[in-house]
Amino acid sequence: MTGNDRPAQKNSSLALERLRIIVDQLQMDGRDQLPTERELAEEIGVGRRAVRRALEVMETEGRIWRRQGSGTFIGPEPTHPERQIRKLPEVSNMLEVMEVRLRIEPVLAQLAALRATPSDVTAMRDLAEKVASADDLDSRELWDGALHRAIASAAGNTLFLALFDVVDRVRQNDAWRHVREAIRTSDALTLYKSQHIQVIDAIERRDPIAAEKTMRQHLLALQERLLFQSSGELTDAV
């Protein structure tokens, strides 16, 4: 270590020691934000570089957190689950999507049966009719997604709804359009429409067990068609 390094180290150590005291005092005063680096440097009597180094140490300790353009705050950085959810990478195939849907949407249907209002049920029936009357894939996909989201929304749980939105966005990936087209045969569409009505009927009569069971059956039917289509594509590839 050179002689020039020692003063810098001493200044950084001094800055860290003083910053700990400042943070403790601000917390006692009920404040959650530190002054600027320039103000801290002037108060402590060291250079801004020493303050910056000390702040970096305290940030790694979880004592403070910084946001570009907003300042330095006391305490660990708050978590934002909804932001992290939105950053999740797109999954590699629709089978993964179905695995998640099977664990989320039956519960949402169950909760909807407990919490849906008459206007919620009316909206669901309108959407189910739009799904049934759609004469092209794009319209059918649009209204089908809207119906499932209406059920998710009626469940009255904002975190569940955020999870649903992430999965639904992945489900709509254009790369899987041909798969969605292939699994929606005329016989399958007739079954899906009937199951939609059964789910809504269960929700309307406040039957959470039936709502959960019917939604699960609906998703299992979709999954079965998807597995059949996937196995056929693999056979063709071989």
Mean pLDDT within 208-229: 90
Q: What span, in angstroms and rounded, lies between the C-alpha atoms of 76 and 79?
A: 9
Domains and CATH numbers, the chain: 5-74 (1.10.10.10), 83-237 (1.20.120.530)
What pLDDT digit, counting tens, does each position of 119-173 carry?
Answer: 999 999 999 999 999 887 778 888 888 999 999 999 999 999 988 988 887 777 6
Q: Which two tokens stand for residue 84?
A: 């992290």
Residues 6+ apart with CB under 8 A from 58: 16, 19, 20, 23, 64
Whole-structure pTM value: 0.61
* For the ranges 31-35, 53-57, 175-179, 196-200, the one whose mean pLDDT is highest: 196-200
Answer for the pair 154, 102: CB distance below 8 angstroms, yes or no: no
Question: Given this model, what pLDDT does residue 165 score?
Answer: 87
Q: What span, in angstroms and rounded, lies between the C-alpha atoms of 75 and 27?
A: 9
CA 48-50-55 angle, to 5 degrees, is 90
Mean pLDDT within 33-44: 93
